[in-house]
Structure 1
Amino acid sequence: MSILVSGLVNIETTLHIESFPLEYDPVRYPFWGINTTVSGVGVNVSLALHTLGRDVYFCTLLGNDFFGEMAHDWIQQQGLATEFFVQQLPQTAQSVILYDKIGRRQIHVDLKNIQEQRYPLELFESALERVSAAVLCNINFNRNLLEVAKRKGISIFTDVHTIADPDDEYNRDFMAAADVLFLSDEKLWTTPEKAAQDLMARYGNKMIVIGQGERGALLLEQHSRPVQLPAIKTRPIVSTIGAGDALFASFINFYIDGFSPLESLKRAMVFASWKIGTAGASQGFLNSYELEKLYTQDMPSAI
């Protein structure tokens, strides 16, 4: 079963620091502590799904600059098709991420003018014809595409990351359209259980997953009680950047294959736990064989 992913591509630079807060120093020399790669939610989700063996049609907007060409070529080298890439921006988005020795991170994202752009409707409709599910990331160029996917009966998966209000103005359209809604617990207005119930009552999603980092994850299905799963540790943490994208993508992979939401989330938590043993958001993904081996043989007590 093929999946459409529409989301951000950016050039990501990670910087390893000793601890937060970062004290002022005019010059630092973090040998092997700076790395630049291609990332962004669209890349991370697409590459995770692709590594798990899924056919992915990736829609995105890139700059017609050096970084846009670099991103295009790198993504193509990873085995992802680029036929639905549109290089119309003056500059490609960039991010700088600081992370410390215990895995905490601070993300700085420069979207340039991408929030003022729209993805070409005809190209999106062409991609939709090939899939049965769509991951529409909460970037502005996807906003007018939500209704199109909904009208065609395509299941919509969305991750709104951090929200502090169930009526969040920016994310309201995405939450209302999502059949399956993901988010983080980092800025919630109440407990994860109550937040999930508030959102489901308001938007009628089929299910909601709230990632809680070291506290695990919470799953709420329609007409059910919330289920809390404890965190899983498969290897030492390097950086938690991209953990939510990994959880989101791997859940989708198993759910559309017919696994129950609970079984999908259990496997996704193993996948995400392994992923955060690397520094970059688009690195550290297990393939389906590696994940199943880790899930069934190495993690019997956790599942």
Structure 2
Amino acid sequence: MDLDVFVIGGVGIDTIVRVPGLPLPPEETVHVQPVRSYIGHTGHGVVLGCHQLGLATGLADVIGDDPEGARIRSAYAELGLPLAFAIHPSGTRRSVNLVGPDGRRLSLYDGRQPWGLRVDPNLWRGNVARARHVHVSIMDFARWALPDVLAANCTVSTDLHDWDGENEYHRDFAQAADLVFVSTSALRDKAIDWIFASGRAQAVVAMAGSEGSYLYVRDEEPVHVRAVHIPGRPVVDTNGAGDAYVSAFLTTWLDGRSYQEAAEAGSIAGAWACGSPGTHTDLITAEQLMLLRF
């Protein structure tokens, strides 16, 4: 196996608009700082984050035959990272993310691709067979990869993002993963119990932003992992912080360390990501993570 982490789904273009505050004032015109765009979204964040930490990574996704898709293809070629892609006429996913002075964001997500989209499974099959671990993003087309991933000799993770614990859309992903990441922003009571009862998860990580994260390991008491403050690196943009957390968690866990150590590494990486403007512009390296851990 020559890929450490292979990611299915989740690359697109983020347009970042730095606004004077959230919510926006009720005005017809709001003056903002220069508007910039980045290659982003959740799957790309995990690919790039793990790559920065020294793992061999790759991505499979559906993009468009458009300037955004060309930008993604060019970037992966420049990085030397495997990119398996299918072209769909709906185009490449995009989002416009409004970011306030405190780094909080509001994401306006344009998923574009139609519900029920299915693609040739060869998009992912060859690389899944090469991978130690597969991270499946919650793109609708990616749910059709789950049987192939489960049949492979690898571990599996997913990030449910702002799942409320009830939306049926997320359940296939939650049930298939050994490691489940989820935000606490909309999570309802008993959702984590449901994940353990209904799926194969050995650990669930509930990410709570500035409040840190909560680590649930099957048949153990939950643990609160405090948020990290990095001196001299204040929060300026929370875009991509969750992806950075997932990347450092996976890298540490795949290195044979405990879930607790992995969550602590994730907290550091998430805090580091918040210290740079834009999406995935300055993800933590293995050397930086080691210095901050010890």
Give the TM-score taking structure 2 as reference length: 0.93
Structure 1 stretch displaced more, 181-190 or 278-287: 278-287
Three-state SS of the structure 2 residue aligned to 1:279 is coil
What's the offset of the Cα at 1:195?
Answer: 4.1
> What is the alpha-carbon distance in structure 2 between the residues aligned to residue 253 and residue 149 of structure 1?
19
> What is the alpha-carbon distance in structure 1 between the residues aligned to residue 5 and residue 200 of structure 2?
23
Matches within 5 A, 1:282-301: 282-296=280-294
- 1:215 aligned residue: 211
Matches within 5 A, 1:190-205: 190=189, 195-205=191-201
- 1:155 aligned residue: 155
- The 8 Å contact of residues 162 and 185 in structure 1, kept in 2 or not, is answered as yes
Could you tell me the percent identity over the aligned residues? 26
- The 8 Å contact of residues 53 and 288 in structure 1, kept in 2 or not, is answered as yes
Which amino acid counterpart does residue 121 of structure 1 have in structure 2? Answer: P
- 2:277 aligned residue: 279
- The 8 Å contact of residues 184 and 211 in structure 1, kept in 2 or not, is answered as yes
> What is the alpha-carbon distance in structure 1 between the residues aligned to residue 200 and residue 129 of structure 2?
26
- 2:48 aligned residue: 47
> What is the alpha-carbon distance in structure 2 between the residues aligned to residue 198 and residue 177 of structure 1?
13
Three-state SS of the structure 1 residue aligned to 2:181 is strand
Matches within 5 A, 1:163-202: 163-165=163-165, 167-190=166-189, 195-202=191-198
- The 8 Å contact of residues 62 and 87 in structure 2, kept in 1 or not, is answered as yes
Give the TM-score taking structure 1 as reference length: 0.91
Which amino acid counterpart does residue 111 of structure 2 have in structure 1? Answer: L
> What is the alpha-carbon distance in structure 1 between the residues aligned to residue 51 and residue 15 of structure 2?
23
> What is the alpha-carbon distance in structure 2 between the residues aligned to residue 107 and residue 139 of structure 1?
16
- How many residues are matched? 290
> What is the alpha-carbon distance in structure 2 between the residues aligned to residue 127 and residue 89 of structure 1?
24
What's the offset of the Cα at 1:68?
Answer: 1.0
- The 8 Å contact of residues 85 and 123 in structure 2, kept in 1 or not, is answered as no
- Cα deviations by residue, 1:242-261 (Å, 9 ceiling, x for unpaired): 11111112101111110111
Three-state SS of the structure 1 residue aligned to 2:169 is coil
> What is the alpha-carbon distance in structure 1 between the residues aligned to residue 270 and residue 75 of structure 2?
23
- Cα deviations by residue, 1:23-42 (Å, 9 ceiling, x for unpaired): 1333333233x211111111
Structure 1 stretch displaced more, 278-287 or 22-31: 22-31
- Structure 1, unaligned stretches of length 5 or more? 297-303
- 1:63 aligned residue: 64
Structure 1 stretch displaced more, 198-207 or 8-17: 198-207
Which amino acid counterpart does residue 216 of structure 2 have in structure 1? Answer: L
Three-state SS of the structure 2 residue aligned to 1:248 is helix
Specify which of 12, 15, 19 is matched with residue 14 of structure 2: 12
Which amino acid counterpart does residue 64 of structure 1 have in structure 2? Answer: D
Which amino acid counterpart does residue 86 of structure 1 have in structure 2? Answer: A
- The 8 Å contact of residues 129 and 152 in structure 2, kept in 1 or not, is answered as no
Structure 1 stretch displaced more, 277-286 or 96-105: 277-286
- 2:224 aligned residue: 228
What's the offset of the Cα at 1:115?
Answer: 4.0
- The 8 Å contact of residues 115 and 139 in structure 1, kept in 2 or not, is answered as no
What's the offset of the Cα at 1:97?
Answer: 0.3
> What is the alpha-carbon distance in structure 2 between the residues aligned to residue 93 and residue 137 of structure 1?
13
- The 8 Å contact of residues 89 and 114 in structure 1, kept in 2 or not, is answered as no
Matches within 5 A, 1:59-98: 59-82=60-83, 84-98=84-98
